[in-house]
Each structure stands twice: as C-alpha cells, then as structure tokens.
Chains A and B, each alone.
Chain A
Amino acid sequence: MDIKLSRFNGGIHLDDHKSESLTRPVQVAPLPNQLIMPLKQHIGESNKPLVNVGDRVLRGQLIAGSSSPISAPVHASTSGIVRSIGPHLVAHASGQSADCIIIDVDGKDASIKVEPIEVSQMQAADILDHIRRLGVVGLGGASFPTSPKLSRGIDLGIHTLIINGAECEPYITCDDSLMQNQAYETVRGIGYLQRMLTPKKTLIGIEDNKPKAIEAMKLALQTESLPNTAVVSIPTLYPSGGEKQLIQILTGNEIPTGQLAFDIGIFCQNVGTCLAITQALELNQPLMSRYVTVSGDGVRLPGNWIVRLGTPIKYLIELAGGYVQNGLNQPNATQQHLVMGGPMMGFSLSSDNVPIVKSSNNILVMQQQLIAQQPGIHDECVRCGKCAEVCPAQLLPQQLYWHSRSKEYEKVEAYNLFDCIECGCCSAVCPSQIPLVQYYRASKSEIRATQRATFKSDRARIRFEFREKRLLLKKQQEEQKRRLKREALLKKSAAKKMDSSVADPIQAALDRIKAKKSEQVIVPKNITNLTADQQKQIDEADARRCSEHEQNT
C-alpha cells in the first residue's frame, strides 16, 4: 500500500528514554497480597459492586457492573476474599479517593469456569455484547468503553481504521513490548475490528524509534494476511501518538472542531485494546491485566510487566528494585516524584498506595530535583512565540497564557482554549519556564465550573418562571371559571323573568305600565263608598258653590 505521510503542526523532539525499560524482557508480575479494584475504571456511568464483604471471588468473576450502555464492568483479576468495599486512594489527577473493592489474594489464582466460544460463528451484535460484558475499554489512556465506540463506528460507517502504536511519550514502552511480545494476538484483534467495521484500509502507525515492534507487527501481518492493512513507520516526533495528530500524519485529515474521528469515517484504536479484544473473543477472558512500564531515574530496575489490574503501585516498584536511594547525606534530594503516565501528559501521585487500573500504562519515578517546572517560580512571558511554533493544535499559547493569567475567560475561549490537547509542548520549550498547561487546565476547569453554575441557575430560573406562569395560569383559569359561573347565574335569573314568552319585552313593559295606569283610574279615594249622608252633604255643598258662583257673576 502506498501511504503518503503528512505532518502535523509543531511538535518537539524529546529524549525518549525508552531504552532503560527495554533492557530486560517483559515479565509477568507475581500476585500481590492484596488487590485494590476501583469500581469505575472507564469513562461513563459508575458501576455498582456485585459482591459482598467476605465473599470468595474467583479470577474472571464479575464483581462490579452497571446497566448503562456506556460502561465497562470490572472482573476480579485473581481469586481471594473480599475484605472491604469503600473509598480508597486511587490514581487520579485530583488525588481523591474512589470506591474500591479490596480483595485479600489467596494465591491459588483459581478461575471461574470458562465456557469456550466460537468467534467465527458470532454475529457482530453478539461480538459487541461479548466485548462489553468482558469489560474491554480503550487502553490508550482515555478508557472509553470499546463496545459503544465500535457500535457507533458501525452505524456511521468507517473507511479507515487506524491502529495506534505510536507511543510517543518518553519513557513509556508498554505498547512497544506488547507489540514485540504478542504481535500475532494484536493483529488478530485488528482482524476482528475489521470484521465489524469493514474499513477500506487499515493503517498501523508506529514511531520509527521502535524498529523491533515494527518488524514483529509486519511479520504477524504477513502471517495473518489481513487485507488492505499496512504497518506504517512514522517519524518520531512528540505528540504523534495523539489521536488527532496520528490521523493527520496517516491520512492528512483534520478532525473538524466539535466532531470525533468517526464523524469523518476514521476509527482509531490502541494496540493494547486490540490484544484485549483478541483475549475476550478467543479465550473468553475479561480484561484483567495489562502491560505496564515502570521507568525513570528514581527506580533501580526499570522494565515492563504484565500486571493484574488492582495491583498496588508500591508492589510494582518493589518488583522494579525499589526507589533509588541517592545522596543519603542530602535527605531532601532523595525524595522521588511519582508520576502516573508519561512525563509530558501524566499526573503526579501523592502516594504509591494506589492500584494499577485499566488506563495505567506507565509508572514514572523521577528524582524530585530534576522536575523541570516547580509551581510558582517562573519568569515573565516575553511573547517569544516558541510555544506557538510547537503547538500541534496551532493555538497561540502566549495569548492563552496572557488572558488565563488575568482571568479573562471569554478571551481565553475566543483563542480556542478548548482545542488545547494539553500535550505540554508549549511548557517544555518555554524559556521563562512558565507551566503553561497548568494555567490552561485551571482556566478550563474554571470555565466548566462557570458553565455548570450558569446551567444550574438557568435551570432554576426556567423553573421559577415556569412556576410563575403556572400560578398565573391557574389564577386566570379560576377567574375564568368564576366569570363563567357568574354569567351563567345572571342568565338563569334573567331567563326566569322572561319566562312570560313575550316577544318584545319593552312593548310588554310599556303595556304593563299602560295597563297599570288604566287600572288606577282617577277616582279620588275619599268619594268612593260614600254613605247617603255624606252624599247629601256633598250635593248640598255643590249646590251652594253653584249659587255663590251665579251671585258673583
């Protein structure tokens, strides 16, 4: 296959420090005395524990799960007794605790009964369900459940499948070891992905500082003979292993802002995930272990181990010969700095009593005094623009810093803060030693908090307004009701009066008045019902008046 490589903007060449952990072959880490299994080891809905304190659990037994489609269950990675279920310190950037199932390992490593499965006869939907039930998540770092991602990819249609074996961060060699060690399984996993996604082509991107891995994968690819698939050696340049950057290198495409890779027909998966898929589909084995690198100048014997999930980091560091005890006469200098992940994008751990989880690829032990950027101490930005030269997202880190510092979050957003992938290139080249990414992380969380608060207050306002409206409506309805009732009553009484069924009420009234008037004929009351005497007196008076009248005239 003819592949034209593109280049992403910026990037930096770093001392890769990969050889330290590759001097010894991969080892299978022995069982620790205790496992710490966080209930949630993926992005999505939390799991609920499915075992009780005191229960005996077996290797491969489901111990925590959720009914949500965006979730991945957790399986016991060896046999033992559930000691407790509750908060325990975990490897998280915030340094917070999370609910964990603590298992006292019995050392027997007894397994549940594993039913053999025949993957060649499974439908795509069955495979998806199987991968989901066995807790497979993306092992590149984000830990997004693989099954829903695949199902979305199938729905949208994929033309290019990209397998990420770039592993661009210094020190980390777990994917390198995995590809050297289990290339065939990994390639078969790619085959299962192809079966479900039916891409037109598949590209396996590996940085050219891993010639052995490239060789192994090419050989496995030939043997397994996957169609339209190629191992592509890409130039070593950090951060080529970022999803956006790898896609840009291999296809020349940029993922438009606000969209995801499968929106442009590209599906990206880490090599570790491919191996986990093979193990799930061929061995019916849940995700219980992973390749982990332990490296850095603070640990005696750097190397790679296949580690059961839940193994405490402390135990792993003991396997790697323990911490380097340097400069005993300088007690402060002996302090080691523990990092989960690589030196560019990892995060500090406040304790080594935290477990390996699905996303743990590397434990980096650095001597404290060699940490490049100490909080709070740096020169001012002189706007030299070296950060902008190396930024793979083509941002202007100097402007982001300026506005982040003065907490002008609207401006920070206008300078596209949320396109920052936090790769750390800008911080690494800053002549003023400004921890730029730290400023961006702070701004991002500040903006998110504001957004959440706005969302909350908006919702409260909408609720309030709705309530007001509802009350008003109720009042209006009541008034309406009352008005109608009143009118009905009035009508009723009027109807009663008009029962006489006269055509013209005015005429009728006039008639009534007329009748009344004609009834009351002008008969003076004092001359009715007169006695004979009274009549006689009246007659006499009348006669007298007449005579007086005649006399006068």
Chain B
Amino acid sequence: MTSVIVSSPYVSQSKSLRRLMINVIIGLIPGTLAYAWFFGPSIMINIAIAVLFALGFEAVILWLRKKSIKPHLNDYSAVVTGWLFALCLPSHSVWWLIVVGIGFAMIAGKHLYGGLGFNPFNPAMVGYVVLLISFPKEMTSWHLPIPMSGETYGLVDSLKFVLGIGDSTWDAFTAATPLDHVKTALRQDIPISEIFQAPLFGKLGGIGWEWISAGWLIGGLWLLINKTIRWHIPVALLGSLGSIAWVFYLIDAETATSPLFHWLSGGAMLGAFFIATDPVSAATTNNGRIYYGILIGLLVYLIRNWGGYPDGVAFAVLLANMCVPLIDYYTQPKVYGAK
C-alpha cells in the first residue's frame, strides 16, 4: 500500500527543460546553415569548439561545486550558450579566443552566480563582451562573404586557420561588416544612397547577412509556433528598433538607414529571437517583457548610431538585464480580485 506522501498535483503536462533547450538548438539550424553557406564551414568548427568547452567548463565547475554533473549537462543549457556564443564571434576566430570567451561566460557569467536559473546576465553575452573589450582587433576581423571574395575555404583550411597553423594570407580577405561600413561612411558625410553602392551590400542589408538574418527569423518563428518562446520580447524588440529607425529614416533617408536594414543586419534577429528571450536573464512578467524588448531595441539603435561599436545587441541585452528586477517589480499583473 501507499506510504509515500506527495503533494498534488499528481499529473503533469509540461515539456521538459531539456526539450525546450533542444527546440532552441533546432531553431538555430536554418540561420547557422545560411551562415556556413556565406562564410564557410569554419563557423561549424567555432560552434563545435564553443559547445565542447562550454560542456567541459560546466562539468568542471559542477564538480567543484559538488553538484551532480550528468543531469545538469543533460539539460542542454550549456550547449545553447556555447552555440549562441560562437555565432556572435567573427566567422574565422582563433581557438584560444573562443576558449577564453566561453570560459568567462560559463564561469563568471553563469556559475559564479549560482548556475542555471540564477545568472542575472546572459552568459553568452558576458563572454562576448569580455572578448570585444579585451581583443578588439580579433573581434572585428570579419572575412568577406564567399560570394564576394570568391574564395571557398574547405574544412581542412578552416581548421588550420582556427588552430592558428594556417598561412596568414587570409588576412587579405578581412573586411568591415556592413554595419561597421555604414557607420564609418556616415561619419565621413557620405550619403546613404552612395554607401549602398558598395559591393558589400545586397538588396536589403549586407550580402549574406540578410539571408542569415532571415534564417534566424525562420527559426524564431518556429520557436514561437511551438511555444518555446513567447511573442512579447521579439515583437517589442524588433518593433522598437524598427520604429526608431523608421522615424530617423523618414526625417532624412540620406543620413539614416531603413528599418529593414536594421532588422537584417548584425545581431538584431538573432538577438530578438534567441538571446533576449533567454528566460533566466529576461523580464518575467508579460508586460515587463514588452518593456524589456523595447529597451533593448532602443539601446541597439543608440549604440549602432552614436556608440563606439558597430553593433550593440550584446551591450543592449546586458544593460536591459540590469533593469530586469526594476521592470519586474513595476509590471506585476493585476491579481484576481484586486481593486
């Protein structure tokens, strides 16, 4: 007969945490494939290294913290962090850059705060920002998309480069990202219509970048449909970024880029669907998520146009993370029966 007393409810219909994380990984696939198509297979190597070390650091720290290792590795949260982190780095990054970044993300960004569920900042963004500040040259050396350079890098070449044993001729192909290019050109008072004549640009955004962003959008919509994420943050983020861009675009289309360009450049789409939606570090009330998304969108625009960095998603997310307790406090829903 029964002897165990359990508190009700006795039925569950939840998706497991692990399932949610796997969904996120599936959602990343279209964009990642587009990325590999335009920038070569080295991104796959980056992801592999980042994920492997993310799991490794997680395991070591869990061991040091005397926590059970296997169940925590099995929740796939470290895989997601590693994957997202790798996607933020330049397509061809040296292995030690990745290791330093993901190490900082997992140790300082996640476990020093208490591990999954307790980190106030998005760990991948913490790792990325540390690298951006510490290694500005390495972090801004992007290769030209393949359709422009015409170079196809094989897996072996890419691996050699990542491990730092390849020849250095590749440096010839490094270039600014479209966002960087626009920013620099605008500071030299070149009108937008002229800037977009440059070979770097496609129809809506940078060559390659527009398709990668479309990939994130497809994956993100899939996450919305299967309810892994909720609409509030992506809609608010893209809405506020698009709105402010639209206002400046209307005022003067020769000094401000279009909302579409902002949506399809840099980390906007990835950030809106995959990074800002990290539930642990995001606002947790529905209204709060809207404010949180709006805040990130505005900050991204501010940093892109007047800040010191070409893109601002990482800083915007971290700044918004800081505001989360405040946002959550002031956006509590009206409780049933309250006046």
Contact = CB atoms under 8 A, between A and B. Distances in A.
A363 to B, nearest CB: 12
Contacts of A441: 7
A366 B117 CA distance: 32
A373 B6 contact: yes
Nearest to A13: B13
Contact of B117 (A336, A380, A386): A380
B19 to A, nearest CB: 7
A352 B3 CA distance: 10
Contacts, number: 174
Judged by DSSP, the binding face of A is: loop
Interface in B78-123: 115-118
B2 A338 contact: yes
A43 to B, nearest CB: 20
B338 A349 contact: no
Interface in A406-440: 415-416, 419, 424, 427-433, 435, 437-438
Contacts of A170: 11
A259 B15 CA distance: 37
Contacts of A87: none
Contacts of B20: 384, 431
Contact of A337 (B2, B7, B285, B335): B2
A15 B12 CA distance: 10
B1 interface: yes
B5 interface: yes
A51 interface: no
B10 A366 contact: yes
A388 B333 contact: yes
A347 interface: yes
B225 to A, nearest CB: 16
Contacts of B308: none
A419 B12 contact: no
Interface in A348-374: 348-352, 364, 366, 368, 371-374
Interface stretch (A174-182, A210-218, A271-279, A390-398): A390-398
Contact of A344 (B11, B14, B328): B11
B44 to A, nearest CB: 28
Contacts of B286: 385, 388-389
Contacts of A375: 6-7
B279 interface: yes
Nearest to A335: B2
B9 A343 contact: yes
Interface in A244-259: 244, 248, 254-259
A12 B9 CA distance: 13
Of the listed residues B9, B279, B338, B339, the one surrounded by the most CB atoms of chain A closer than 10 A to its CB is B9
Nearest to A323: B1
Nearest to B332: A396
Contact of A345 (B9, B17, B282): B9
Nearest to A426: B9
Interface size, B (range): 35 or more
Nearest to B228: A384
Contact of B14 (A257, A368, A433): A433
Contacts of A12: 13
Nearest to A432: B17
B14 to A, nearest CB: 5
Contacts of B17: 379, 382, 431-432
A209 interface: no
Of the listed residues B118, B230, B337, the one surrounded by the most CB atoms of chain A closer than 10 A to its CB is B337
B152 interface: no
A399 B283 CA distance: 11
A346 interface: yes
A100 interface: no
A447 interface: no
Contacts of A386: 14
Given A337-B6, A345-B8, A431 B14 contact: yes
Interface in A156-211: 170
A14 interface: yes
Given A335-B2, A337-B4, A343-B11, A393 B284 contact: no
B8 A343 contact: yes
A89 interface: no
B16 interface: yes
A431 B15 contact: yes
Contacts of B338: 256-257, 416, 419
Contact of A433 (B1, B12, B118, B230): B12
A339 interface: yes
Contacts of B3: 350
B183 to A, nearest CB: 35
B2 A336 contact: yes
A451 interface: no
Nearest to A416: B335
B334 interface: yes
B120 to A, nearest CB: 11
B9 A372 contact: yes
A107 interface: no
A351 B3 CA distance: 7
A31 interface: no
Nearest to B9: A424
B280 interface: yes
B10 A385 contact: no
Interface string A1-45: 000000011001011000000000000000000000000000000
A226 interface: no
A383 interface: yes
Contacts of B15: 431
Contacts of B332: 396, 415
A9 B9 contact: no
A14 B11 contact: yes
Given A373-B12, A385-B285, A348 B5 contact: yes
A324 interface: no
Given A9-B336, A398-B284, A431-B17, A348 B9 contact: no
Nearest to A378: B17
Of the listed residues B2, B5, B116, B332, the one surrounded by the most CB atoms of chain A closer than 10 A to its CB is B2
Interface string A123-162: 0000000000000000000000000000000000000000
A396 B333 contact: yes
A95 interface: yes
Given A380-B117, A435-B7, A438-B7, A368 B12 contact: no
A85 interface: no
Given A379-B75, A382-B117, A432-B17, A396 B10 contact: no
Interface of B: 1-17, 19-20, 71, 75, 115-118, 230, 279-280, 282, 284-286, 289, 328, 332-339
15 contacts: A255-B337, A258-B337, A259-B337, A336-B2, A338-B1, A341-B8, A344-B10, A379-B71, A382-B116, A385-B285, A388-B285, A394-B336, A416-B335, A416-B338, A428-B11
A-B pairs with the 8 shortest C-beta distances?
Answer: A372-B12, A380-B117, A424-B9, A438-B7, A257-B337, A384-B279, A343-B10, A348-B5
